[in-house]
Structure 1
Amino acid sequence: MLGLRCLRCGTEYPPGPLFKGCPNCLSEGLPTNLTVVYDMEVVKRRFDPRKLDDRAPGIWRFAELLPARLENAVSLGEGMTPLLHAPALGRRLGLEHLYLKDESRNPTGSFKDRLASSAVSMARQVGARVVTGSSSGNAGAATAAYSARAGLPCVIFTTQQFPVAMRTQMAVYGTKMIATPTIYDRWRLVEGCVDEYGWFPVTVFVYPLVGSNCYGIEGYKTIAYEVVEQLGRVPDKVVMPVGAGDAFSGAWKGFKEYRELGFTDRVPAMVAAEVFHPLENALEKGLDHLEEMPWGPSVAISVALNTSAFQALNVLRESGGAACSSDDAETIAMQRELAETEGVFAELSSVISLCAVKRLVAEGQIRSDERVVAFLTSTGLKDPETTAAHLPPVPLIEPNLEAMSAALRETYGFEIAQRV
């Protein structure tokens, strides 16, 4: 690691605790995240993707392209999640080559483990005393788990309105949870703890949004490296649920790095699936910043932000990508369709990537013969209550075949074929 560079103005900084983004852009009212700079000539000499079989699985196979030194790595075996071909769902959506990057297989059940592993490894490397973050679920669970693994105290600021399963998961790792009335309150408290006590932040806490810890975001690059390895080529489109755009930005950087290193000769178009369409709005208006959009309740709680960050908009512009949104009805229907056709129970926030695929295929923005990777961020077990509310009740019957047949027909529309 050589240093840090601003995604907007290109100003470079030495490595350090620049958790609020680029000071230069911040002074101009354009908050922008930083990204880590590496000596790519050194990386070329030390790293060969053709020899990865000699390394242990997980994101630290790519240690030369991560900011923390390998001896400081904090790992729970994250990474190398399955890339599943989804032929049945693909046919329904009009695609020949639909693939699902199933991040629910990570240790805490979500893609945030990549962020937490890289960020907490840096916390260990710099001698941090306390790790902190703001989260209503996946990021908090991942931060808590990896802090526990590293033996570091962890304080997570949250709100009252989030699923019991996520709250329980955070608590069981021994994290200290503090609830605030609003998400803005929790961000302000994280900022205060970073400024006053020198705590090490993992997640978003600056508003207008900048993004999460720039060292942590590097962990998301490994998504791109894995997809190229698993698919045997660069996909045509990569579709991801996007809030502040941490994983979106990290994955895009990973594809670019593989091209820069000569391991591929192309990059995919990146598609942002969102809820309140701040990125779609910025693209339509040609903005270089994100506006606040009208907000409302959403079942996709992990990405239900009414604004985003420049890092996400930058990915769309650089990759020639697109952004589109979906509503609750589409999201709930897609979660069930995915489970019934491919056997994958993904979090509602995850399946908005597939809602975006469906819409863009219908609009002709994705061709039927393109190779499309849809990113599933987390398991549906993080919020089973919301899913259960939209499923039929289990019928209670008298224990005989006639009653069983009637229940199957009336509740599920399933007719039993008579034996020939």
Structure 2
Amino acid sequence: MSHATGFSCIRCGTAFPVDLQIDSRGCPNCVAVAPANLKVVYNRQKPSPYDETQQTKLPSLWRYADMLPCTPGEAISLGEGLTPLLPATVIGSALGVPNLLIKDEGRNPTWSHKDRFSTVAVSLARLAGARVVATASSGNAGASLAAYAARAGLRCVVVTFAGTAGAMLAQIKKYGAEIVPLADKSQRWPLLAAGVERFGWFATSPFQAPVVGSHPLGIEGYKTLAYEIFEQMNGSMPDWCVLPVCYGDALAGLFEGFTDLLDQGKIDRVPRLAAAEIHGSLSEALASKTDMITEAPAAFETLAVSIGTTRSTFQALRALRLSGGTAVRVGNRGLIALQQQLAASEGIFAELASVTPLAAIETLRRQGAIVASDRVVAIITASGLKDLDRSTIPDGRQTVFETAEEAWKHLLKDEGYCSARYETV
């Protein structure tokens, strides 16, 4: 690792050497009290990633390489990052937040934010001499890791479970990864652990319980979300950033990125962060003021499978607490309608898990936590093409028109399609 000099615990601050073998338990001192992930430590004065000479170097997130654990020359890249930050005034006004911006991570090479993680993790895996990278994944992480492994010439194993979205499985297969589906979801981690211990696999995802988060090297890639938001907002900050949260890797990285900017004097505050979650483990931990995240009951089967964990992590809780943020439970009701509304009004087709921030914003606005004048960034983490088998429910009643005249009669029922030019057709 060209830039990193070690790791430290995000909870107790204990330092660890740079050659530490990451086993996904996190800090050994905290594991019995409140399991906590590690973060990368750098020994140099961090330069600003926004110096003009840096900004124009590379058309990817590796333009921020001085803030990451390896150099651009060591990087495995597919041109990830630099995703657009788009005003979404129509749906924003409908949600009561006219100053809504969408960070569309579906524009990444494998159509999800996971590419920010994979580009760093696979780069470091290759530098470490790994021959196989592996992950337990419901879809996006597996697809992303498979693509970057292919780019790096490494083999990839994706351990998954029944119910994973078909489109993502197809994507993983096309990248040449080995897919291992398990009927018992809990068996994914022992399989990964055996691969790490017996064959030296570089596992990027958790493989121990309780989960502390993914590999800390990969999480560094998510810091670039904050750098880009700062740059795209011309040096100002939103009041809120809202994103879907499972184990909180992107949330933790986003917070660290904003903290970097604060430490550099580039900003005077970190935006409040909000987690759109499903079953409520973060909400409960925030309410109880504990560091130990407990299992939340799974009261329903969520459409947002990729964030459907019943137990989140301390790294997510820490980011919410230190930013003055919050967590919002999101159910299935209205998700498909929000997905369609976002696509139809803003031209952004998002995965079902990725529209949970909009549902969370609606709740926070109704509660008065977000006010109408707030500038809010919703991070849309993946493309809607990822889970079409869940978001599109065939009804078997599609109308097929025999003639153009019949089709026009149908269209003319809606005045929005009836300009004077076509009324006589």
Q: TM-score, normalised by structure 2?
A: 0.93
Q: Counterpart of 2:218 in structure 1: which amino acid?
A: G
Q: Helix, strand or coil: the match of 2:169?
A: helix
Query: Which residue of structure 2 lines up, in the alignment, with residue 375 of structure 1?
Result: 379
2:264 to 261, 264, 270: 261
Describe how 1:346-385 pairs up with structure 2 within 5 A.
346-385=350-389
Paired residue for 2:30? 25
Pair 51,211 (structure 1): closer, same or farther in 2 beyond 3 Å: same
1:362-402 deviation line (CA, Å, top 9, x unaligned): 11101111111000000000111222207895322331535
- Contact 1:239-1:375 within 8 A present in 2 as well: yes
Q: Is the 8 A contact 1:86 1:342 kept in 2?
A: yes
**Residues 171-210 of structure 1: pairs in structure 2 closer than 5 A:** 171-210=173-212
The question of whether the paired residues in 2 share the 8 Å contact of 1:346 and 1:380 is answered with yes
After TM superposition, the structure 1 = structure 2 runs for residues 34-113 of structure 1, keeping only pairs within 5 Å, are 34-41=38-45, 43-44=46-47, 47-113=49-115
Q: Cα distance, 1:201 vs. partner? A: 0.8
Q: Which amino acid aligns with 1:273?
A: A
Partner of 1:280: helix, strand, or coil? Answer: helix
User: Is the 2:49–2:227 Cα contact (8 Å) retained in structure 1?
Assistant: no
Contact (CA 8 Å) 1:86, 1:99: kept in 2 or not? Answer: yes
The residue type paired with residue 198 of structure 1 is: G
* Cα distance in 2 between the residues matched to 1:200 and 1:262: 36
Letter in 2 for 1:22: C
| Distance in 1 of aligned mates of 2:108 and 2:338 | 22
Range that drifts further, 134-143 or 196-205: 196-205
> 2: distance between equivalents of 1:102 and 1:47?
21
Residues 94 and 196 of structure 1: is their aligned pair in 2 closer, same or farther, counting only changes over 3 Å? same
Q: 1:147 to 1:403 in 2, by over 3 A?
A: closer
Question: Hey, what's the Cα distance between the residues in 1 that align with 2:375 and 2:155?
Answer: 43
- Please tell me whether the aligned partners of residues 100 and 374 of structure 1 are also in contact (alpha carbons under 8 angstroms): yes
Are residues 1:236 and 2:256 paired? no
SS in 2 for 1:349: helix
Q: Counterpart of 1:245?
A: 248
Find out whether 1:327 has 2:294 as its counterpart: no
Change over 3 Å in CA distance of 1:155–1:282 after alignment to 2: same
Q: Is the 8 A contact 1:137 1:167 kept in 2?
A: yes
1:131 to 107, 130, 133: 133
SS in 2 for 1:99: strand
Shift of 1:205: 2.0
Report if aligned partners of 1:68, 1:125 keep a CA contact under 8 Å in 2: no
Residue of structure 2 aligned with 1:224, choices 223, 226, 229: 226
Pairwise CA distance, 1:294: 1.5
Residue 13 (structure 1) aligned to one of 16, 23, 31: 16
Once the 2 structures are TM-superposed, how far is the Cα of residue 267 of structure 1 from its aligned partner? Answer: 1.0
Partners of 1:392 and 1:192 lie apart in 2 by 46
Question: 8 Å contact 2:56–2:63 — kept in the other structure?
Answer: no
Residue identity matched to 2:255: W
- RMSD (Å) for aligned C-alpha atoms: 2.0
Please report how far the alpha carbon of residue 176 of structure 1 lies from its aligned counterpart in structure 2 after TM superposition.
Answer: 1.0
Find the counterpart in structure 2 of residue 306 from structure 1. 310
Q: Unaligned stretches of 5+ in structure 1?
A: none
Q: Name the amino acid aligned to 1:110.
A: S
Paired with 1:302 and 1:379, the residues of 2 have a C-alpha distance of 13
Are 2:262 and 1:270 aligned?
no
Query: What secondary structure sits across from 2:117 in the alignment?
Result: helix
The CA deviation string for residues 326-371 of structure 1, in whole angstroms up to 9 with x for no partner, is 1112211211111111011100000001111111111110111111
Equivalent positions of 1:106-121 (< 5 A) are: 106-121=108-123
- Distance (Å, rounded) in 2 between the aligned partners of 1:404 and 1:318: 57
Q: CA deviation at 1:47?
A: 4.9
Q: Which amino acid aligns with 1:133?
A: T
Instruction: State the shift of 1:39 in Å.
Output: 2.5
Alignment deviations for residues 19-41 of structure 1 (CA, whole Å, 9 cap, x no partner): 32112212x25321000111341
Deviations along 1:168-208, one digit per CA (max 9) or x if unpaired, are: 10011111111112322112211121122221011222211
Residue in structure 1 matched with residue 321 of structure 2 by the alignment? 317
1:386 paired to 2:393: no
Is residue 292 of structure 1 aligned with residue 295 of structure 2? yes
Structure 1 contact 405–416 (Cα < 8 Å) conserved: no
SS in 1 for 2:100: strand
Counterpart of 1:159 in structure 2 is 161
Q: 8 Å contact 2:276–2:328 — kept in the other structure?
A: yes
Q: Does the 8 Å contact 1:74/1:146 carry over to 2?
A: yes
Q: Is the 8 A contact 2:50 2:231 kept in 1?
A: no
- Deviations for 1:193-251, whole angstroms, at most 9, x for unmatched residues? 11222210112222111100100000000000000000111111000100000000001
In structure 2, the residue corresponding to 1:226 is in which secondary structure? helix
Quote the offset at 1:103 in angstroms. Answer: 0.3
Structure 2: stretches of 5+ with no match in the other structure = none
**SS, match of residue 276 in structure 2:** strand
